């Protein structure tokens, strides 16, 4: 039944500027007015303004969705808002706390794990696990060929080392993207730089060893 109500509301005509302004004024005067807050949240959800929907939804018992919280947090970062400013911005009642994820993000300037895009953590973990396995296989193959005096030990060693190197580059790149999903641009930039350097080393090293 709840989903049917939501679908019906999606076809409502968005409120005008004056009506939205009146809602905001009422909420500033009475932050505990959940009915007015719900009107604002519903209005911005219908418009697809996730940041504004999250801004007011944090004051409701049901709270904001993960997408709304992400958009709201990014908006707070753009305003360089501290916790007190965020409370005023969302017109929170005294007894209402900001969500823990919002408070954490304000301090760390990065999204907490529960707000990151789903799936990236597993992908990154698998990439690094593959790297460990590839490194071990490379060690075994190269050591075994060398100890056996195989004439193609060098060629095989170069191939496996290059493969492991490119897997490393892939793992570093995925880690950079994972950092980006947390909107942690400093970490993403560092991982990206390391990935570029690693790619250059693997590429140039492979060219040099194959001469």
Highest mean pLDDT among 23-27, 69-73, 99-103, 195-199: 195-199
Q: How far is the C-alpha of 61 from the C-alpha of 56, rounded, in Å? A: 11
Burial class (CB in 10 A: 0-12, 13-18, 19+), 209: middle
pLDDT of residue 198: 93
Question: 158-171 in b/e burial notation, b at 16+ Cβ within 10 A?
Answer: bbbbbebbbbbbbb
Mean pLDDT of the chain: 83
Neighbours of 54 (CB within 10 A): 29
Task: Kindly tell me if the per-residue pLDDT of 3 is higher than 70.
Answer: no
For residues 11 and 34, give the distance between their C-alpha atoms in angstroms, rounded to a whole number: 22
The residue ranking higher by pLDDT, 20 or 15, is 20
pLDDT digits (tens, 9 = 90+) for 107-131: 877 777 666 666 667 888 899 999 9
Rounded (10°) angle between helices 66-78 and 50-57:
100
Instruction: Say if residues 32 and 93 touch (Cβ distance below 8 Å).
Output: yes
pTM over 0.85: no
Contacts of 67 (CB under 8 A, 6+ apart): 50
For 184, the 3-state DSSP assignment is coil
- Segment 58-76 mean pLDDT: 87
């Amino acid at each position: 039944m709840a989903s049917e109500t939501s679908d019906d509301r999606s076809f409502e005509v968005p409120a005008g500027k004056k009506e939205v302004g009146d809602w905001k004024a009422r909420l500033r005067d009475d932050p505990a007015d959940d009915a007015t807050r719900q009107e604002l949240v519903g209005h911005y959800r219908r418009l697809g303004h996730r940041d504004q929907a999250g801004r007011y939804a944090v004051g409701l018992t049901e709270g904001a969705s993960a997408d709304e919280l992400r958009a709201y947090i990014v908006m707070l970062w753009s305003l360089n808002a501290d916790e007190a400013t965020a409370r005023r911005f969302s017109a929170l009642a005294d007894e209402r706390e900001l969500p823990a994820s919002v408070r954490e993000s304000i301090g760390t300037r990065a999204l907490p794990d529960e707000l990151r895009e789903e799936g990236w953590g597993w992908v990154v973990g698998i990439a690094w696990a593959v790297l460990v396995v590839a490194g071990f296989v490379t060690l075994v193959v190269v050591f075994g060929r060398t100890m056996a005096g195989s004439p193609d030990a060098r060629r095989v060693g170069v191939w496996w080392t290059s493969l492991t190197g490119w897997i490393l580059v892939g793992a570093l790149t995925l880690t950079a993207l994972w950092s980006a999903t947390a909107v942690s641009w400093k970490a993403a930039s560092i991982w990206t730089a390391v990935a570029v350097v690693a790619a250059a080393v693997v590429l140039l090293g492979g060219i040099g060893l194959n001469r």
